């Protein structure tokens, strides 16, 4: 077998070549098995949703369910008084599949139904595993499947869409909490009220959390019960399709948070013991439960489970036209320990036998399938251990994700804010953390996501300002702690964004420093929605300082989008000084300078750059962003010639750097044959 590029590109992986190659061969063998040695495609295998579940046919209805442990299965619902009737009994086919065919008049759009499943020693009502619509009764709180067959189903207007991924700028969001009011928001409200905001902000992708149906709203969508059903608490399937369609019309990709790492324990609402057995979809014994998450773990070694999950990937791509997925909880999938208590301090920790090879194969095949269906699809792994090859192509020995979440970055920023005084911040540490990634993988950089905003943690703005946010956010109110917080909030986001390697992410509202945490309705807070919403009026109010942060974020995203081939421009450190707390880096003709020092401003601070005239394109100290306006940004900065560096074609760029500010400069075009202000010949752009 030819040596894989994953090992060629990283010689430190050579001692583990057999393990890496073994995983690669295992994925190939499993794909051959699932596709009958190539008689069908992986996409053909992953079409279970076209067979299972409820479907309208030319002369009526057909319903199928996989329940191998069941002894009898019945449809019960509004159409038969929720009573067991022989007429609605399913027939057992081969391989544990049950089927029933009904005339057209038997079911109607909007009818509620469930399965009544019987097995040796028991019985119970269940929601079908493959159902596409689940609703909750407002009075009894009981969930039921619903027949969804509208006379005029939604028709997508945007037939083809190719995401813009250079770079990918993601606005992470949650439909329910996107409303200003103290209630659950809807797909329609998001489409008409929030989507235009995101478009104005310049982001080219939205990442929607909590789409798959989940019985407990406060789980943030992580305890999924119905994997093929879009949560009905936000609206109808057609309204979600309209949202996706409108996002595409605005040039925004729509990425879905996909939870295949575990499932809710609930038996009445979820997959647990659907046919009366523990091991239908999940492991049995000690591997069945994920104790830290109070959930159940899929058995990725069963082909029926692979069929279910791979079909789920294809369903969301085909039915709703999502542009890809953020795979949640990948670390938990990769390791038998779920990553708990693991050090991951050396390469041996990734190849010591503690890895779940079946889960790794599933993730590999899921990526192959998704990109087979849509070569432009985006897949992101939420993974904290640093597993090599996760975001490398399968042909190179990787698992095929396009990106991995740079989960070290928010941890770094919060640790810095918690444990270090401002004068102890080291630019060398900032640079090291921002660029600490594998060269063969793209990452999603972010200063904070929804994880940092949930109860039990704090957002960056809360770490920076805390309770002073309640009293000192009016523009006319002067407060040193607020000033510090606003200044550092801008700097942190700018250095995180401009050092990205593929993508940047922001969670809804954090761009303008949304106050407080996210706390969904629960018994402990009186079932209140006060903290499960977004207060858009704060950033809209010209009398409040939130608008400064919102305006800065908009300008920062606009600047990045306006830099041609931003992501392909090599990122190079120009200068850092821990004693001065100054960092400078560049991408092509763009130079980014950060003065983290809380007290010291520098006059004529110099470092070497390509010669030319540099003009300020963005300044965190701009009064529009709540700064003091201490520099005249209309003046160009000419580099100063130094004969010592003439051979390197570099000159001194000297700037005034106010304390706790950052500036972005662009070198004006110089062509071969022209001279710089110093009299030296210029270099070609």
Class of residue 568 by CB neighbours under 10 A (exposed 0-12, middle 13-18, buried 19+): exposed
Burial class (CB in 10 A: 0-12, 13-18, 19+), 482: buried
* 258, β-bridge pairs: 327
What whole-number distance in Å separates Cα of residue 678 and Cα of residue 667?
15
Ramachandran angles phi, psi of 241, nearest 5° = -60, -40
d(CA 267, CA 1): 46
Catalytic residue, candidates 189, 213, 246, 328: 328
Q: What backbone torsions phi and psi does residue 575 show, to the nearest 5 degrees? A: -165, 145
Active site residue 304: no
Give the CB-side neighbour count of residue 537, counting CA atoms within 13 A.
4
CA distance 23 to 358: 9
Picking from 671, 606, 673, the residue whose alpha carbon sits closest to that of residue 644 is 606
Q: Token digits for 410?
A: 């928010």
The catalytically annotated residue of 213, 257, 382, 383 is 382
Helix (H) or strand (E) run with residue 135 in it: strand 134-136
Q: Is the peptide bond before 167 cis (omega within 30 degrees of 0)?
A: yes
Q: How far apart are CA 322 and CA 301, in angstroms?
A: 27
Burial (Cβ within 10 Å: 0-12, 13-18, ≥19) of residue 122: exposed
Query: Is 328 among the residues known to form the active site?
Result: yes
Name 192's Cβ contacts closer than 8 Å, sequence gap at least 6.
none
Are 604 and 652 within 8 A, CB to CB?
no
DSSP labels for 241-307?
Answer: HHHHHHHHHTT-EEEEEE--S-EE--TTTSSTTTTS-TTTTB--GGGSEETTTTEE-B-TTSHHHHH
Q: Are 582 and 595 in contact (CB under 8 A)?
A: yes
- At 574 the three-state DSSP class reads strand
CA 640 and chain centroid, separation: 44
Residue 648 Cα distances to 98, 574, 645, 668, angstroms: 75, 13, 5, 19
- Rounded CA-CA distance 488/462 in Å is 12
- DSSP assignment of 331-378 equals HHHHBTTTTTT----SGGGGSSS-B-HHHHHHHHHHHHHHHHH-TT-E
Q: Annotated catalytic sites, by residue?
A: 328, 382
């Amino acid at each position: 077998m030819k040596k894989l590029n994953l090992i060629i590109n990283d010689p430190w992986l050579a001692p583990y070549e057999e393990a890496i190659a073994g995983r690669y061969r295992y994925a190939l063998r499993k794909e051959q098995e699932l596709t009958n040695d190539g008689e069908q495609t992986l996409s053909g295998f992953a079409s279970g949703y076209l067979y299972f579940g409820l479907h309208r046919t030319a002369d009526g209805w057909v319903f199928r369910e996989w329940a191998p442990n069941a002894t009898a299965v019945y449809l019960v619902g509004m159409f038969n008084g929720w009573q067991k009737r022989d007429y609605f009994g399913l027939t057992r086919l081969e391989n544990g599949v049950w089927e029933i065919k009904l005339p057209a008049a038997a079911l109607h759009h909007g009818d509620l139904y469930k399965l009544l499943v019987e097995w040796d020693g028991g019985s119970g009502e269940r929601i079908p595993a493959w159902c596409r619509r689940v609703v909750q009764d407002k009075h009894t709180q009981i969930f039921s499947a619903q027949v969804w067959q509208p006379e005029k189903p939604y028709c997508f207007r945007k037939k083809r869409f190719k995401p813009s991924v250079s770079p990918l700028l993601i606005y992470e969001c949650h439909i329910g909490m996107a409303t200003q009011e103290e209630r659950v928001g809807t797909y329609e409200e998001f489409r008409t009220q929030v989507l235009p905001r995101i478009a104005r902000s310049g982001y080219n992708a939205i990442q929607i959390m909590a789409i798959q149906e989940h019985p407990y709203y406060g789980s943030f969508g992580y305890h999924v019960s119905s994997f093929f059903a879009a949560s009905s608490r936000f609206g109808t399937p057609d309204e979600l399709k309209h949202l996706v369609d409108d996002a595409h019309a605005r040039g925004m990709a729509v990425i879905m948070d996909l939870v295949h790492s575990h499932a809710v324990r609930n038996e009445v609402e979820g997959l647990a013991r659907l046919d009366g057995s523990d091991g239908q979809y999940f492991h049995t014994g000690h591997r069945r439960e994920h104790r830290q998450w109070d959930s159940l773990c899929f058995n990725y070694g069963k082909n029926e489970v692979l069929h279910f999950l791979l079909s789920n990937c294809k369903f969301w791509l085909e039915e709703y036209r999502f542009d890809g997925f953020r795979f949640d909880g990948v670390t938990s999938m990769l390791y038998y320990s779920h990553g708990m208590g693991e050090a991951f301090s050396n390469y041996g920790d990734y190849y010591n036998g503690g890895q779940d090879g079946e889960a790794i194969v599933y993730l590999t095949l899921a990526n192959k399938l998704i990109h087979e269906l849509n070569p432009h699809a985006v897949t992101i792994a939420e993974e904290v251990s640093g597993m090599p090859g996760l975001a490398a192509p399968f042909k190179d020995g990787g698992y095929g994700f396009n990106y991995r979440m740079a989960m070290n970055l928010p941890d770094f920023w919060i640790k810095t804010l918690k444990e270090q005084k401002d004068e102890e911040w080291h630019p060398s540490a900032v640079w090291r953390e921002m660029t600490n990634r594998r060269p063969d993988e793209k990452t999603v950089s972010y200063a904070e996501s929804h994880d940092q905003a949930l109860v039990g943690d704090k957002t960056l703005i809360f770490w920076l300002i805390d309770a002073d946010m309640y009293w000192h956010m009016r523009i006319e109110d002067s407060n040193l702690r607020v000033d510090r917080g606003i200044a550092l909030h801008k700097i942190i986001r700018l250095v995180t964004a401009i050092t990205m390697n593929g993508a940047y992410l922001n969670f809804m509202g954090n761009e303008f420093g949304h106050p407080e945490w996210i706390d969904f309705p629960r018994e402990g807070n009186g079932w209140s929605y006060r903290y499960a919403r977004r207060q858009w009026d704060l950033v809209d109010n010209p009398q409040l300082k939130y608008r400064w942060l919102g305006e800065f974020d908009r300008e920062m995203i606009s600047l990045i989008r306006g830099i041609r081939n931003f992501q392909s421009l090599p990122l190079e450190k120009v200068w850092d000084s821990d004693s001065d707390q100054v960092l400078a880096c560049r991408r092509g003709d763009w130079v980014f300078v950060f003065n983290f020092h809380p007290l010291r401003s520098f006059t004529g601070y110099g470092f070497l750059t390509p010669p030319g005239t540099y003009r300020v394109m963005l300044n965190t100290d701009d009064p529009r962003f709540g700064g003091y306006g201490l520099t005249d940004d209309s003046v160009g900065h000419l580099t100063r010639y130094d004969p010592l560096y003439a051979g390197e074609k570099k000159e001194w760029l000297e700037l005034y750097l106010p304390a706790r500010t950052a500036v972005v400069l662009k070198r004006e075009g110089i062509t071969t044959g022209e001279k710089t202000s110093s009299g030296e010949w210029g270099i070609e752009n």
